[in-house]
Amino acid sequence: MRALELFAGAGGLAMGVSKAGFSHSKVVEWDEDCCATLEYNKGRAVRPVSAWSIHRGDVRAFDYSSLAHPVDLVAGGPPCQPFSLGGKHKGYDDHRDMFPEAVRAVRELRPRAFIFENVRGLLRESFSEYFEYIVLQLSYPEVKAQPKGDWTSHLAALEKYHTKGKRDGLRYHVVFRLLNAADYGVPQKRERVFIVGFRADQQIEWSFPEPTHSREALLASKWADGTYWEKHRVPRTRRGVKPVMTQLSLHDGLGRSRCLPWKTVRDALDDLPDPKKTNGGGPPNHVFMPGARPYPGHTGCVLDEPAKTLKAGDHGVPGGENMVLLDDGELRYFTVRESARLQCFPDD
């Protein structure tokens, strides 16, 4: 099966798509640093990046007719800045809104399926009409906007098309859900909206997978049987204060029969050396960065919980979140390698 990756970034989603059994016709990205990362890893024969055909350029100028084979899946994470809680909240008025390009890819390639992800801010009430617009466009990608019309007039046309009795042409069955990466084994509390669609003629029945990991199972492993502390050889004096919990939370087997414990920062980083002691040695990109300090609202991540969402941004926001509070009370920045680990990038 063949896939096209849009807005690839450093390649995280594309790696997952590759591991799910797809080969990429193209991996499209325009940011210079992201492209340099992709091409560097391709040159080092890092799998699965080594098999990708990387296109460096603006997706708005990409010619889909240039692809040699039909595409089964279109995937990607359109830029989140227009909808992020930490951004300027311009939404559809932000020039970085690339959902129209996601729709164009679906319209021109007619894939069997697509998957797009974005920040939870996309579900805010202020964007509710625009989110409906995105979903309807992906459901009926051939219903185009009028050249001189705005998006609200196009939304009205899509609503009429959606509610009429008979619909012809290209159609997709679209579902969406807000998911937390921690619930699927990622050592980071990262909530994202996933929009998934299957071409109507495929007659595919599908639903989002059930969580594989849970907070309740982590609590049980800490405070019911203590297996979490034993695994990491953490003495009682460093385990912190047991939280106030209901009997239900610690009911024997709750969560553990269905789910594994959430993975924590300690789980992810336990085998990495102290970057202050390696002097740049050890794993690649595992270099100590001085200057970490807490400030209101940004106190770093604790070792024995999943990390907070790692962020990119200006004005100190990512610095405040991208820190870890160690057992001895020291607060320091995550190294680049640690940040990659928390996002499940392989060490190579």
- 209 found inside a domain: no
Query: What is the pLDDT at residue 233?
Result: 94
Summarised one tens digit per residue, pLDDT across range 161-209 is 999 877 788 999 999 999 999 999 999 999 999 999 999 999 899 999 9
- 348 found inside a domain: no
Q: Judge if 290 and 224 occupy the same domain.
A: yes
User: Are 13 and 76 spatial neighbours (Cβ–Cβ below 8 Å)?
Assistant: yes
Q: How many structural domains does the chain have?
A: 2
- Between CA 150 and CA 247 the distance in angstroms is 55
Summarised one tens digit per residue, pLDDT across range 243-265 is 766 544 544 444 445 799 999 99
- 126 found inside a domain: yes
Beta bridge partners of 280: none
Catalytic residues: 80
Q: Is the pLDDT of residue 89 over 50?
A: no
The CATH number given to whatever domain includes residue 137 is: 3.40.50.150
Domain, as residue range, for 19: 2-202
Query: What is the pLDDT at residue 106?
Result: 97
Average pLDDT for 266-280: 89
Q: Judge if 234 and 193 occupy the same domain.
A: no
Interior angle at CA 102, CA 96 and CA 107, nearest 5:
145
- Between CA 24 and CA 17 the distance in angstroms is 9
Question: What is the tally of helices (H) and strands (E) in the chain?
Answer: 11, 12
Q: Is the pLDDT of residue 90 over 50?
A: no
Query: What is the pLDDT at residue 306?
Result: 97
- 257 found inside a domain: yes
Summarised one tens digit per residue, pLDDT across range 55-71 is 999 999 999 999 989 99
- 111 found inside a domain: yes
Tokens 């209101």 belong to which residue?
Answer: 296
Q: Judge if 97 and 155 occupy the same domain.
A: yes
Beta bridge partners of 116: 76, 195
Q: Which two tokens stand for residue 65?
A: 């007719």
- 166 found inside a domain: yes
Residue 48, preceding peptide bond in cis (omega within 30° of 0): yes
Tokens 């690649």 belong to which residue?
Answer: 284
Q: Judge if 196 and 219 occupy the same domain.
A: no
Q: Judge if 158 and 244 occupy the same domain.
A: no
- 41 found inside a domain: yes
